[in-house]
Amino acid sequence: MNTILIGLQWGDEGKGKVIDILSKDAAFVVRYQGGNNAGHTVVVDGVSFVFHLMPSGILHPEKTCVIGNGVVVDPAVLLEEMQTIEKKGITMDGRLKVSEQAHVIFPYHRILDGLREKKRSNKIGTTGRGIGPCYADKAYRCGIRMGDLLNKRLLKEKLKDNLKEKNEIFKKVYRHRGFSFEELYEGYLAYGRRLKAFICDTSVLLNEATAAGRPILFEGAQGTFLDIDFGTYPFVTSSNSVSAGACTGTGVPPTKIDKVIGVVKAYTTRVGEGPFVTEFSKALNEDIRSKGNEFGATTGRPRRCGWFDAVMVRHAVQLNGVDSLAMMKLDVLDQLKSLKICVAYRYKGKIVKQFPNDLEFVKNAKPVYKEFSGWKTNVSKIRSYDKLPVQARDYISYIEDICQAPVHIVSVGSGREETLFR
């Protein structure tokens, strides 16, 4: 069975833990979009692993992990992550495959990312990792791909063309000195030599695996409302983080996808700029941020926190074709006397239940809430869904009804064992 696991909010939903759990039933675990702007945290036996490019399935022996063509790869970050993982006793042993068609992040992408953000009046909140500029080069058709790092002549030709244009932009627009061809050329040839054994045509690999009946788990990064098309544009990422991106980002056709699992927090979080209809008051924001350790795994930035937004999640369920939900961090809400779920937006006297694409609407909308009693009980030691307090089950049941998808997984802590299955 081929399964896509996708975030249904603004990322940081806890996908890493679910991927780690589901990896045991997969032969391949595949990243299909984004870059090292993503951060998946997995806790195993009290040890935290944070992955930025590496699929979380690498923690499971005998699983093949794939970085698909839809990902943008910073080779320095990938090599560093590989070394860190191996130092913790986890060996690659031919288990990592990187698409020869994945585009490569260069230092000029990272610098341009930061310089553009500085010039903007309305900040996007970029991570500054060069993700957007790299995807822009892909669309401009001047990008350099992982396979190009193995071809001296082609890399030289493409890099010279890029620097001829980019150094002019850096010097004349940003007053930046630009970049040395020789330094980048030799550095990236060296990356190619070190990564040669891992680079291949991953679309062929994955389609052959599908034909042989070997299950694939597609690992989404970011979340639905950071999607370049369907997110709260322009406060989004630079790739298609919805489930359809798994097909274009790997070369596996949509007819070969069997199941889509959507991951949500029991509340809502957002990193960076952009509208947030259900955001908490300052005091509650700080309280939940502290209890939920809501700081970005990639940047360390504090996450903004708010009530569960069913308007968003219902729309995300529809966009992604979600079959079931995994609800994370239920335990963070343990001590609240009451909880709220946003069921609609109010704007200019109108009540709207469908998520709007108008940025001004979303910025100025007020939430319409349904209130629930809290359970005031520590749920982190509970190991059966039926043993959850009735108030917690009522809360989950209402989310299932309003979002039109069943909750099959509930997380009550960061460890593997702190997971309830229905």
Read off the tokens for 129. Answer: 């990792």
| Whole-angstrom distance, CA of residue 355 vs CA of residue 347 | 12
Write b or e for each residue in 149-168: b if 16 or more Cβ atoms lie within 10 A of its Cβ, otherwise e. Answer: bbeeeebeebbeebbeebbe
What is the rounded distance in angstroms from the CA atom of residue 89 to the CA atom of residue 343?
Answer: 47
Nearest to 128 by CA among 147, 107, 146: 107
- 187 is written with which tokens? 């550095």
CA 81, CA 51: separation in Å to the nearest integer? 8
- DSSP track, 18-67: HHHHHGGG-SEEEE-SB-TT--EEEEETTEEEEESSS-GGGGSTT-EEEE
**Active site members:** 12, 40
- Residue 411: helix, strand or coil by DSSP? strand
- Answer yes or no: are the C-beta atoms of 146 and 101 closer than 8 Å: yes
For the chain, what is the total number of helices (H) and then of strands (E)? 12, 20
**Integer Cα distance of 317 and 264 in angstroms:** 11
Answer yes or no: are the C-beta atoms of 261 and 5 closer than 8 Å. Answer: yes
For residues 127 and 65, what is the distance between their CA atoms, to the nearest angstrom? 25
Largest CA distance in the chain: 66
Q: Which positions ≥6 away from 357 have C-beta within 8 Å? A: none
Q: Is 88 exposed, middle or buried (0-12, 13-18, 19+ CB in 10 A)?
A: exposed
For the chain, how many residues are written? 422
Cα torsion through 243, 56, 326, 340, rounded to 10: -100
As a whole number of Å, the end-to-end CA separation of the chain is 19
Q: What is the distance of C-alpha 378 from the center of its chain?
A: 29
